[in-house]
Amino acid sequence: RDLMAFHCYNAQEDTYAFYPHSVRNIEDLCASIVRSHRETSQYRLEELQALRWKLFSREEIQAYQSKSEDEMWQHCAIRLTDAVQYVVEFAKHIPGFRMLSQNDQIALLKTGSLEVVLVRMSRFFNSENSTVFFDGKFAGPEVFKSLDCVDLIEAVFDFAYGMSALKLTEQQIALFSALVLINADRPCLEDRGRVQRVQRSVELGLTHILHRDNQENLMHKLYQRMAVLRSLCSLHMQKLHWFSQRYPLTAHSLFPPLYKELFA
Ligand code: CLR
């Protein structure tokens, strides 16, 4: 499950038909995306719910806060990369994704994988006390103090708060994640037309699910969330750039290769 495994993937093997022509096909498409989400989401909601009482103690928080800046960056980069790997796995099972060229698959993952991680973060977020499941317990923003990017952390927590207020079902999260990833407006795409067709099918799927759930009004809010995601990711890139200038050695030799490949 490393980046090379991803690079060697052969699009030819995938013969999945991804143009939905009937409600039945749309339902199949939704079912595949939901299954892929479930199989790559690491924790079930009930499990996360049951872990909510596990909070970091004052001493543990202090231990994170007294880590050096580059040590904490490296630690978070490893955690994020791990989460990104699951998103890569999720993407591979979105009907149509594997039929895109390798270049386009990588281009979509480069810009979209962190956005999907942030969408997924809302599942790992407890809005009652604004904490996120990190390293086995629930952590508030103060845990990330030594990263020295309060604005980014605050924006990420705000986003998770806003997402969890939408109270999306697992199926809605799955389809929304797929839509965030399969976006024909991303830079560096070879075959935009093909990406657009896959995007349309995912859009149909999300519309179908929202219609079935009687929540068509959510579509508009979800598009708004997508704009926020874009700004969060550019803030992350900015921070990373700034960090790698200050700590070139950590960024160069201690960050996971996939993290460097996707974001550097
Ligand atoms: C998101 C959902 C994934 C599991 C997961 C793993 C790592 C977590 C991430 C979630 C949420 C955001 C997170 C991250 C580790 C560090 C990062 C808590 C829960 C915070 C916001 C720090 C970002 C630091 C960057 C500046 C490097 O399925």
Ligand 1 contact via 233 beta carbon (within 6 Å): no
pLDDT at res. 242: 82
pLDDT score of 167: 96
Residue nearest to atom 25 of ligand 1 (CA): 76
Nearest to 202 by CA among 174, 239, 221: 174
ipTM comes to 0.97
pTM value?
A: 0.91
Alpha carbon separation from 128 to 58, 155, 219, 234 (Å, rounded): 19, 17, 25, 28
pLDDT digits (tens, 9 = 90+) for 100-126: 999 999 999 999 999 999 999 999 999
Q: Is the CB of 152 under 6 A from ligand 1?
A: yes
Q: Tell me, what's the pLDDT at 256?
A: 84
Mean pLDDT score, 42-69: 96
